[in-house]
Structure 1
Amino acid sequence: MPIPEFIVELRKKIGTDPLWLPGVKAVVLRESAHDPGESKVPEVLLVQRADNGKWTLPAGILEPGEEPAVGCRREVLEETGIEARVTRLAGIATTDPMVYPNGDRAQYLDIIFGLEYVSGEAHVADDENLNVQWCAVDALPEDCPPKHRRAIEWALDKSPAPKFVI
């Protein structure tokens, strides 16, 4: 998806100065057995980003006034073509400060949700990603960033309380 229109308008006023924005990160899980009789292994939905080639979780910026869980489901569908149901708030953290290729700077309040797969065939559904795949949670690509790995761990943790960094 292109840069949200509200950010385009903000950037006209502030240029490339840092923005603090609300974002969502989606940990979409499904159980999968590759062979009959084999025990099921949790798999997570990953996207390969077009800007840096890394494998990450689907994520994005909330629109003004958008409910976080609604925005999370929207991002998953827009990026991967997958319908998913939000099952829990897994945690809240911050991302590292980012500098985009055009010089824009931003940092995000990262609202991390656990979701379960509902339907759809995973495919690239936007211009932000090069590839989409399901990956066993115990065999993540080496270039999956640490904060995305942490989000997956938080979503897999069955304790009722969301996680946060203290």
Structure 2
Amino acid sequence: MSQHSEDDPVTRSKPDPAPDALAADHGDVLRSENTFEIDTEGLESARARAERGWGVGVLAVHDGQILLVHHDDQWLLPGGMLEPGETPGEGAARETREETGIDVRIDGLAAIAEQTFTDGDDAFVFHFAVFDATPGDTVLTDDPGLADEVIDDVAWHDSLPENTFDHGLYARLLDDERNG
């Protein structure tokens, strides 16, 4: 597990609250670090979003099935970026409603992922909080996401598809949820 300093060449997003403070507020939280190789255009797009602070999402499971959204040829947890004035939990619930049409109750913080994105020449670190959530219903929207989002599909899955972003983290969280 590597530690980055402020003068490290890998630039860091400045999430508020700080990851350790968010984790301290929620008890036992899984911590994860991963590096993802993406192209230069994707890196710049991701960096622009990350400058807004925290990424947030939910792990919503119903009858053993996990809720996922499909974007850029990958399945992801429903989520996105915090809006000004939102708590991370509020943002995760809002993003889930916008992307899937489902209202969720946030039950707690499941994980904090520190994700390094790189194109081989440049890199930055991004923080993503995953919240356990209970869906209010299971009926999915037929028009996922907002008008400016490109979400191809939203679905309940019995297992994680092979093309799931951060597959290892999601598998650990899903296993914890099912065996918890």
State the superposition RMSD in angstroms.
2.5
Normalised to the residue count of structure 1, the TM-score between the two structures is 0.64
Note if 1:97 corresponds to 2:117. Answer: yes
Q: Whose strand fraction is larger, Structure 1's or Structure 2's?
A: 1
Show CA shifts across 1:61-116 (max 9, x none).
011221111100000000000111111210112123278xxxxx864211111111
Alignment counterpart, residue 58 of structure 1, candidates 75, 78, 95 = 78
Show CA shifts across 1:26-72 (max 9, x none).
111111xxxxxxxxxx11101110xx221111120011221111100
CA change 1:149–1:134 in 2 (3 A) is: farther
- % of aligned pairs identical? 29
Q: Name stretches of at least 5 consecutive residues in structure 1 with no aligned partner.
A: 1-15, 32-41, 100-104, 159-166
1:118 corresponds to: 136
Task: Trace 1:30-109 onto structure 2 (pairs within 5 A).
Answer: 30-31=62-63, 42-49=64-71, 52-97=72-117, 107-109=125-127
Distance across 2 between alignment mates of 1:98 and 1:74: 29
The alpha-carbon deviation at position 120 of structure 1 amounts to 4.9
Q: Name stretches of at least 5 consecutive residues in structure 2 with no aligned partner.
A: 1-43
Note if 1:130 corresponds to 2:152. Answer: yes
How many residues are aligned here? 123
Normalised to the residue count of structure 2, the TM-score between the two structures is 0.60
Contact 1:59 1:72 in 2 (8 A): yes
